[in-house]
A and B are shown apart, each in its own frame.
Chain A
Amino acid sequence: MTERSRPRLNIGAVRSTFAPWTDPTAKPLVRFEKVVKRFDGETAVNGVSLDIYPGEFFALLGPSGCGKTTLMRLLAGFETPDEGRVLLAGEDLAGKRPHERPVNMMFQSYALFPHLSVERNIAFGLKQQGMAKDEIAARVDEMLSLVRLDGLAKRKPHQLSGGQRQRVALARAIAPRPKMLLLDEPLAALDKKLREETQFELMALQQQLGMTFLIVTHDQEEAMVTADRIAVMRAGQIVQMGRPADVYEAPNSRYVADFIGDVNIFEGKAEHADGVTVRMASAESPQGFDIVEDDKIEIGATAWLAVRPEKIQVHLDEPPPGPNRLAGKVADIGYLGDWTTYLVELESGRTIRAARANASRFVDRPVDWDDQVWLTFARDAGVVLTQ
């Protein structure tokens, strides 16, 4: 076997120097140690270990019932772990009631106090800390302008719109300057446009405050946009953790690849490797697939090749024969404005998803329904998954 040498590749289109999790001397703000939580025999959180670093925007992502909310509630103190420890700034939180923990939570329902005005909702935690009256007033004003609610101080929650209520809940949670802000599906109740705006506002706010944010969401886009790191959860366990680009471009399992974004998965067997390229045989493609060499690939074992739709090119003219080539008929076209998604039915009956960015307004030869097309993708477009 020849020497395996590959150029070091950057994953994703984002470069960020903020990566305390790669620094072995960095001290985590929150540490979950083999935490287990059961409800009536059902295991909601199953041995989760996790470090979150100061200043991080961390996302727990997963479908409903995966244990992400329970994990957050364990940190807030609304649940107590059956096994393991939760530490905050090195201190074991066991035995500390919710009101004794220096973290604040923004509830999915917002849980605004209906009998209190906006300003008194925001002042609630400050009053509890025993802050002086004029200090409270100043902090409330600061919070109101931070979340752009000036002028609404005297309103009651039921007099506000959904978006305004969301911002009151946010202001109320950050007003006491907690060590960490917990956000439980904070944007779930907002409409799409407002949700996108608020995602960027949350990021800006987190930068401005320098506070550590932990967000729980089932919306992969929300997690990808806002978070420095994402932990993808499944059945009470973290299945992958990393920067959004890592999780998207280098998923470690079919589950993660499928949960985050759209993906086409081809089953096959690695046949031989020459140090640079691995040839994979698959029932889906007559010439098989050529993939960039990867340590994970074991010759002869079943593996899965995951290719994202936007990494597949659609051709109306037949390309020269070769690997990474599929032929089929256009079954459906979804025009989204910024993107167009093509559903291409292969001869085997499988439907493959390919996407194209609509970079120019005019297209020479638009693709039509029922057109015969060929799909190709580059050697490094796909990820090989072994589970």
Chain B
Amino acid sequence: MSARRDRTSLAALAPLLWLGLFFLFPFLLVAKLSLSETTLAMPPYAPRLDWSQGMAGLRAFLAGLDFETYARLTTDRLYIVAYLSSLKFAAVATFILLLIGYPLAYAMARCPPSLRSALLMAMILPFWTSFLIRVYALIGILKPEGLLNVALRAVGLGPVSLLNTDTAIYIGLVYAYLPFMVLPLYAVLERQQHDLLEAAADLGCAPFEAFWRVTFPLSLPGVAAGSLLCFIPMVGEFVIPDLLGGSSTLMLGKTIWTEFFANRDWPAASAVAIVLLFTLVIPIVLYQRQQAKLTELGR
């Protein structure tokens, strides 16, 4: 009996241990870093905990921590601009994703069942190639002598310079995150009972009206799930703006990289990361609530 209980609690302990080891501990490290200050040393921050001094060393270490770096973030325009521009990129891209993803998901859900799994497969297929390779492929398409411009010239248009612009970032974001928008939308649309649409038609709704009065409101959990699933990682996205965007494009992911590797300002990089994390806590909580609601509806 007691051995069994031990085993159960052990099983519950495993994910906690995992989270502690790979989330909480690194998080505390980053949090500590963000409270430190930069020095020209190796590693480039202070204070450092000196265990040989015992309690006095710990006290000296704690006294050395402060919120100066965070204060610096609020005064330096660079960070504020990067922060706002990240939110803007993520928000606009989410909106575009919704505009493209909804009709796609809707069409998939309305297809004959035999075709649906094939379409679903096509949606997931790009994941079989490395994300990085797909972004590099986009460079090949968007660059001045790339496929797009060759094609445009062939029909007597262009050339357009897209690479290293905000437009290229949007193209990259929308391309990379489309499945994350389509799949949750497809899940709610596919599950919708067909007789609800018949009931709406019976009560006087033309197909278009029935969509707005029944299908769309019932798909809102999917809209929320897809939007949050795209928005949250896009705010901190680094690879796409770095490879496709221009040098003047400021996004938080890129800022963190620059601070860490170029400026060797580890405290600033950590502070930005912490701010980003806390910004995203709100949509993550929203997302989880939405998921809970979805499972409830599914029952």
User: Could you tell me which A residues sit within 8 Å of B by CB distance?
Assistant: 76-78, 97-99, 103-105, 107, 109, 111-115, 124-125, 128-129, 172-173, 176
7 pairs, A vs B, C-beta closer than 8 Å: A99-B204, A105-B199, A109-B193, A124-B200, A124-B213, A129-B204, A173-B202
Alpha-carbon gap, A103 to B196, bound state (A):
17
The 4 A-B residue pairs with the shortest CB-CB distance in the complex, in nearest-first order = A125-B203, A128-B204, A111-B199, A98-B201
Total of A-B residue pairs, C-beta within 8 Å: 57
Report A-chain residues with C-beta under 8 Å of the C-beta of B200: 113, 124
Report B-chain residues with C-beta under 8 Å of the C-beta of A125: 203-204
Mask, B216-249, CB within 8 Å of A = 1, is: 0110000000000000000000000000000000
Please tell me if the beta carbons of A105 and B202 are within 8 angstroms of each other in the complex. yes
Q: Which of B199, B213, B218 has the most CB of A within 10 A?
A: B199
Please tell me if the beta carbons of B196 and A97 are within 8 angstroms of each other in the complex. no
The answer to whether A115 and B202 touch (CB under 8 A), given A107-B195, A109-B195, A128-B209, is no
Report B-chain residues with C-beta under 8 Å of the C-beta of A111: 193, 195-196, 198-199
Q: Which of B200, B203, B204, B217 has the most CB of A within 10 A?
A: B203
Mask, B123-139, CB within 8 Å of A = 1, is: 00000000000000000
The answer to whether A176 and B198 touch (CB under 8 A), given A114-B218, A128-B209, is no
Alpha-carbon gap, A2 to B205, bound state (A):
67
Please tell me if the beta carbons of A78 and B203 are within 8 angstroms of each other in the complex. no
Question: Within the complex, what minimum Cβ distance (angstroms) separates A49 from chain B?
Answer: 25
Interface residues contributed by chain B, number (CB under 8 Å): 19
Please tell me if the beta carbons of A176 and B203 are within 8 angstroms of each other in the complex. yes
Alpha-carbon gap, A104 to B200, bound state (A):
10
Specify the chain A residue showing the minimal Cβ separation from B296: A158
Alpha-carbon gap, A98 to B197, bound state (A):
11
Report A-chain residues with C-beta under 8 Å of the C-beta of B41: none
The answer to whether A172 and B203 touch (CB under 8 A), given A107-B195, A111-B198, is yes
Alpha-carbon gap, A72 to B193, bound state (A):
20
B121 within 8 A of A: no
Alpha-carbon gap, A176 to B199, bound state (A):
13
B297 within 8 A of A: yes
Report A-chain residues with C-beta under 8 Å of the C-beta of B96: none
The answer to whether A104 and B203 touch (CB under 8 A), given A115-B217, A128-B209, is yes
Please tell me if the beta carbons of A99 and B201 are within 8 angstroms of each other in the complex. yes
Please tell me if the beta carbons of B209 and A98 are within 8 angstroms of each other in the complex. no
Mask, B171-198, CB within 8 Å of A = 1, is: 0000000000000000000000101101
The answer to whether A76 and B202 touch (CB under 8 A), given A111-B193, A113-B214, A115-B217, is yes
Alpha-carbon gap, A109 to B210, bound state (A):
18
Question: Within the complex, what minimum Cβ distance (angstroms) separates A129 from chain B?
Answer: 6
B147 within 8 A of A: no
Report A-chain residues with C-beta under 8 Å of the C-beta of B209: 128
B56 within 8 A of A: no
The answer to whether A78 and B198 touch (CB under 8 A), given A99-B205, A114-B297, is yes
Q: Which of B201, B204, B205 has the most CB of A within 10 A?
A: B204
Report A-chain residues with C-beta under 8 Å of the C-beta of B210: 99
Alpha-carbon gap, A115 to B217, bound state (A):
7
B60 within 8 A of A: no
Report B-chain residues with C-beta under 8 Å of the C-beta of A98: 198, 201-202
Alpha-carbon gap, A112 to B198, bound state (A):
11
Alpha-carbon gap, A104 to B297, bound state (A):
27
Please tell me if the beta carbons of B218 and A176 are within 8 angstroms of each other in the complex. no
Please tell me if the beta carbons of A107 and B199 are within 8 angstroms of each other in the complex. yes
Specify the chain A residue showing the minimal Cβ separation from B204: A128
Question: Within the complex, what minimum Cβ distance (angstroms) separates A324 from chain B?
Answer: 52
Alpha-carbon gap, A78 to B200, bound state (A):
12
Alpha-carbon gap, A114 to B209, bound state (A):
17
B49 within 8 A of A: no
Question: Within the complex, what minimum Cβ distance (angstroms) separates B114 from chain A?
Answer: 15
Specify the chain A residue showing the minimal Cβ separation from B206: A99
Having A124-B203, A172-B203, one finds 20 other A-B pairs with CB under 8 Å, namely A76-B202, A78-B198, A98-B198, A98-B201, A99-B202, A99-B205, A103-B202, A105-B198, A105-B202, A107-B198, A109-B195, A111-B195, A113-B199, A113-B200, A113-B218, A114-B218, A115-B218, A124-B213, A125-B204, A128-B209
Q: Looking at the complex, which one of B193, B195, B202, B213 makes contact with A104 (CB distance below 8 Å)?
A: B202
Report B-chain residues with C-beta under 8 Å of the C-beta of A172: 199, 203
Alpha-carbon gap, A128 to B201, bound state (A):
10
Report A-chain residues with C-beta under 8 Å of the C-beta of B217: 115
